[in-house]
Amino acid sequence: METTVADYLVKKLKLLGIKNVFGLPGDYNFNILDAIIKDDEITWINCTNELNSSCAADGYSRINGYGAVVTTYGVGELSAINGIAGAMAENVPVIHIAGVPKTSFIEKNIIVHHNFSNPNYFAFENAYKNVVETTAYLNFENAKKEIDRVFDIFVNEKKPVYIAIPIDVCEFLIDDDGFDKIEYKKSDEKNLNKVVSETISLIEKAKNPIIFFDYLCKRYKLQSEIKEFINKTNMKFGTLLMGKGIVDETNPNFIGVNGGSLSPFVQDEIKNSDLIITAGYLNADLNTGGFSAFQKEIDIEIRKNETIIKGKVYKNVLLQDVILKLNEKITKTFEKNNFKQIKKKINEKGAIKVDDLLPLIETVLDEGDIFTMETGLFSLSGSFLNLKNEMEYISQTLWGSIGWATPALFGAMMADKKRQHIMFTGEGAHQLTIQEMANFFEYDLKPVIFVLNNNGYTVERVLSKDPNDKFNNITNWNYLKLIEGFSNGKDYFSKTVSTLESFIKTIEEIKKLKGKKLCYIEIVTDKNDFGSLCNKFISNMKTFSSNL
């Protein structure tokens, strides 16, 4: 059957379970938006700017599996590029669809709006080539083939991709036969069998093995497979900071989040282990507590497309296939452990300190909640939250673009409205993307939002030679008044707290209102209160840098 290129693209989006598309309208993308809004199974979401739309698509993808953003040519594309780059850094599959001028304008190099005075119609695609896995610039001859190619890469690599569609190509008729086919990558069967056999052999010989799961396990949605592996083997397990939330932290075999020297108990367990395994691991500074996660060699690294066992590399072996086949073949069962989550002491009086926040926030969490954590001062501490069963945790640890969390929370909530959502952000980050708060009210979303107001870019104060450098100051806003404006008269709950007594009282109110009202809490702390974990991390980084 014949269909338009734009309608074909919408069919492909729906095939991957994308039910919400984020972005902003522009005259070059109207035909794309028409195809979206006429379809009853997919919803167009107007965001407040293109950066927010790409971050919202990122948050949506982390929960849904895939996300999509549509912008107009040039100005819209470049406004969204930082959010897409963050998705690229952290393997978050977001497709960016850009509506561009009609083919005749491109062929004749005509000067039109959103271009340069010396036109270059491919400049923005070329910019995107650096921040996505692949790009496609559609024309009348290649449209169907290129869309199919891009979607195959999108699904297999779990990374952002980019498609530019001229106005007239949107309406071009193509055959929709085979739109529902995806070419999936396959492991080299011989190498896969060797990897699984050797891994099982080493596990069977080990007396005290540990396996650490990381962020790629999240991207490939391996939660149930990991749960099966742990329940079958009773092996001790943990995560890295970027992998937080992929496992059940209430399981008695969970030893904790491996933040290097920030998590001494985990380090003791590693020292006593005779077999260390990682799955989907990224060796990056913020993911490893300042490159201090593993003080001894990793014996088995199960990577995205290869596995390394005792230094030997097995190519073309997919992460998900290794986990699936291990579950199928492994029979070894270890004695159950009895690790328990450490209950943190709750202080009850005086000014709020950064180290007081985690114990109080944990009391708001329930099974199945989704927690979104902004990058910055508190993100390290957030990695050591005690999560309850079936909770998810999302953060942008590697890319670390402040402001990501507010629109990402919006996207995550549009992906799953049934579960309760909690977010923690700093006021410096919040200022970059706070406009998206209006959409929480527009779509009747009811998250719990904590905003840490410590009078500046505090994580930058820690990193600066002089914490009092003027460039770390920011203009203080009346956040509660802003939320009043964004609410447009709709009901919500808000409070500013600066003492533990008022915070504890507010926490009790939140527990009653959670899921019933949007709760917005401004927490005021001293600008020089960095928290104990932040100081330890900076010390680790200085040690690492001095040894290079």
Break the chain into its structural domains and give their ranges.
2-175, 189-329, 354-538
- Residue 509's contacts (CB-CB under 8 Å, 6 or more residues apart) are 493, 495
Tokens 């508190």 sit on residue: 378
* 203 and 176 Cβ atoms separated by less than 8 Å: no
Amino acid at 252: P
Give one DSSP letter per residue of 12-58, joined into a string. HHHHTT--EEEE---TTTHHHHHHHHT-TT-EEEE-SSHHHHHHHHH
* 41 and 89 Cβ atoms separated by less than 8 Å: no
Distance CA 90, CA 77 (A): 20
Q: Report pLDDT for 457.
A: 75
Q: Which residues in the chain show pLDDT less than 50?
A: none
CATH class of 2-175: alpha beta
Fold agreement (189-329, 354-538): yes
Phi and psi at residue 229, in whole multiples of 5°? Answer: -60, -45
CA-based radius of gyration for the chain? 24
Strand-pairing partners, residue 2, are 175
Q: Tell me which H or E stretch contains 203.
A: helix 189-205
Tokens 């979303």 sit on residue: 445
Residue 189 CB coordination number (10 Å): 11
Supply the angle between the helices 223-233 and 319-329 in degrees, to the nearest 10: 30
Q: Report pLDDT for 467.
A: 73
Cα–Cα separations (whole angstroms), residue 415 to 45, 412, 434: 12, 5, 20
Tokens of 12: 């492909």
Helix (H, G, I), strand (E, B) or coil at 351: strand
Q: What is the pTM of this model?
A: 0.96
Tokens 């293109």 sit on residue: 50
Residue 22 CB coordination number (10 Å): 32
Tokens 């008729």 sit on residue: 173
Tokens of 60: 């949506």
DSSP 344: P
Tell the CATH topology of 189-329: Rossmann fold (3.40.50)
Residue 430 CB coordination number (10 Å): 24
How far from each other are the two terminal CA atoms of the chain, in whole angstroms? 61
Q: Report pLDDT for 159.
A: 98
Q: What is the dihedral of CA 15, 20, 24, 27, to 10 degrees?
A: 40
Looking at the domain that runs over 354-538, which CATH code has it been given? 3.40.50.970
Helix (H, G, I), strand (E, B) or coil at 329: helix
Q: Report pLDDT for 343.
A: 83
Distance CA 298, CA 307 (A): 12
Helix (H, G, I), strand (E, B) or coil at 286: coil
- Residue 139's contacts (CB-CB under 8 Å, 6 or more residues apart) are 103, 166, 169
Distance CA 393, CA 240 (A): 12
Q: Report pLDDT for 543.
A: 64
311: alpha, beta or left, given left = phi > 0 and alpha = psi -120 to 50? left
* 238 and 257 Cβ atoms separated by less than 8 Å: yes
Among 69, 44, 246, 49, smallest CA distance to 161 is for 69
Q: Report pLDDT for 548.
A: 64
Give one DSSP letter per residue of 218-275, joined into a string. HHTT-HHHHHHHHHHH--EEEEEGGGTTSS-TTSTTEEEEE-GGG-HHHHHHHHT-SE
Total length of the chain = 548
Buried b / exposed e along 196-234 (16+ C-beta atoms within 10 A): bebbbebbeebeebbbbbbbbbbbbebbebbebbbeebb
